[in-house]
Structure 1
Amino acid sequence: MKLLDLGDVRLHYRVDGPDDGAPVVFANSLGTDLRLWDPIMPHLPEGLRLIRFDKRGHGLSTCPPSPYSMGALVTDTEALLDHLGVKDCVFVGLSIGGMIAQGLAVKRLDMIRAMVLSNTAAKIGTPEIWQDRIAGVQSGGIESLADAVMERWFSKGFRATPELELWRNMLTRQEDQGYMGCSAAISGTDFYATTASLRLPTLGIAGAEDGSTPPDLVRETIDLIPGSQFHVIRKAGHLPCVEQPEEYADILTRFLREVGHV
């Protein structure tokens, strides 16, 4: 476990694989930490430099007071990758992590050679929806939202398994301020115009039963980028890397090979 001090926040990060491996960076969703990617790690090719981190207010990173801006989240990520000397990575972002990917690609194309936009969009929800979510956390904590979040995150089949409790616990043990802060960042983000300006290899991944970012919403964003690919994973919700890790890893590995990263 490593911590990078950026002044107003200290980011927890983890690097697996050789220092000279082709870098793949993973950014996780609202309400999860870097363990979100654990299920796919054993299925990825050897020799990659796999970089994961907890965004501000999540996991083992510190939690500044909310609200946060998307610009701050992008800048945090940029500073971490600069610290690690990362150039020409493939950036895999899920949900808010995919928004960070879009923002960073526009800002630092030298840093990202290809990206995977998983269960995300250029704009997610409306300010009213996010304000209601923030108000719910203010009044009752994340616990008050947890059951509804589980319905959006996971397919009906997965919600009937004991493993659901692991992810519910991960959600409810995040900091309220971190959840509210990142909710505010999503609320204020509309990347349609900037994402449409991008020209880099892009893979979109959606879960067929995603209640947060349905496949049509994901596809609308992926279609903004010429030459992009799109894949729907069946029997999966908002976190297909959890429900269908082997298929997710296979799709990602195929893309890494196509762009010459493996």
Structure 2
Amino acid sequence: MPTVSANGITINYLLEGDGPETVVLVNGLADELETWDGQVPALLEAGYRVLRFDNRGIGKSSVPQGPYTSRLHADDTKALVDHLGLTDFHLVGTSMGGMIAQEYALAYGSDLRSLTLSCTYAAPGPYSTRMFRLWEEMAPVNGIPFIMRDVVLRAFTVPFFTERSAELPQFEQASAFMEMSVEAYLAQLNVILTHDTRDRLGEIAVPTLVQAGEEDIIIPVSLSQELHTRVAGAEWRTTRGGHACLWEFPEEFNVALLDFLGRQRKTAG
């Protein structure tokens, strides 16, 4: 996969398809660009060009000293899309990626045709903050693969473990062989601990979809609903699953996403 030097770091990215409109996908905490393997084929089939990349701190992108912020990651994203000459694109972020996408829309909204914020919040609140502080304390002691085992348990719904056990090894093995350092993990974890756009979301002026997994307990649905109420004119959609709904029920997630994107296309209406 190609890399570029942008915003003082090296960013590993993958640009696929040749459609007239581009969808830019932004990953969550401790997730590489493969996060979107369940979505990219559907987006390409729908005629979009798709850009995905490793955030700073993970994968084949640079791992500079932290802590990182959602605005810093948004500036990385801006530097990448500018290098590639992309404008008037659809920006989609999940979890931490949704926080980065919020900051991008606030700082560089004129770049965007639409904004999708998936399984994310405007600010963490007391419940999520306590969970993330626990991970922060556990990571130096137990290591990142141990933390990711806990994430898997919380991210999927209970029926997934009983009814689809054959699919579990791919997620558990990915967690077991995580190569992310503790320092890089903590640098990214700071993003979700410090992110707060509550007082600025009224400035977002692009068509926006806020989507949540209806059983999300990592980022409770109530926090996504609060985010939705703060973005003027935003659409609201839930899909089956928890925080990992885009992995557990990718078809339903894709239907919701493509329905929204399709209504924002240049040819729509």
Same fold (TM over 0.5): yes
2:199 to 193, 205, 210: 193
Which residue in 1 is equivalent to 2:60?
60
SS of alignment partner, residue 227 of structure 2: helix
Letter in 2 for 1:162: A
SS of alignment partner, residue 50 of structure 2: strand
Which residue in 2 is equivalent to 1:232?
238
Which residue in 2 is equivalent to 1:70?
70
d(CA) in 2 for partners of 1:37, 1:82: 22
d(CA) in 2 for partners of 1:258, 1:212: 30
Which residue in 1 is equivalent to 2:150?
148
Instruction: Identify the range of structure 1 (7-16 vs 94-103) with the bigger mean alpha-carbon deviation.
Output: 7-16
2:140 to 114, 138, 141: 138
Instruction: Give the C-alpha shift of residue 104 in structure 1.
Output: 0.5
d(CA) in 2 for partners of 1:191, 1:247: 28
Which residue in 2 is equivalent to 1:248?
253
1:140-190: CA deviations, max 9, x gaps? 211232332112211112234232232233345141222211111221211
2:189 to 183, 186, 189: 183
Instruction: Identify the range of structure 1 (160-169 vs 237-246) with the bigger mean alpha-carbon deviation.
Output: 160-169
Q: How many residues align?
A: 260
Instruction: Give the C-alpha shift of residue 7 in structure 1.
Output: 6.3
Which residue in 1 is equivalent to 2:215?
209
CA contact (8 A) 1:32 1:170 kept: no
CA contact (8 A) 1:31 1:174 kept: no
CA contact (8 A) 1:151 1:211 kept: no
Change (3 A) 1:170 1:195: farther
Letter in 2 for 1:29: G
Instruction: Identify the range of structure 1 (133-142 vs 49-58) with the bigger mean alpha-carbon deviation.
Output: 133-142
Change (3 A) 1:174 1:122: farther
1:28-77: CA deviations, max 9, x gaps? 11121111111122223443110001101112212223321222211111
CA contact (8 A) 2:7 2:79 kept: no
1:67-100: CA deviations, max 9, x gaps? 2122221111110011111111111100000001
Which residue in 1 is equivalent to 2:90?
90
1:176-230: CA deviations, max 9, x gaps? 2222111112212111111122122111111122121122211110111122111
Q: How does 1:110-149 map to 2 (within 5 A)?
A: 110-125=110-125, 129-149=131-151
d(CA) in 1 for partners of 2:9, 2:143: 22
1:105-162: CA deviations, max 9, x gaps? 0100121121110000111245554343222111221123233211221111223423
Letter in 1 for 2:252: E
Structure 1 stretches lacking a partner, 5+ long: none
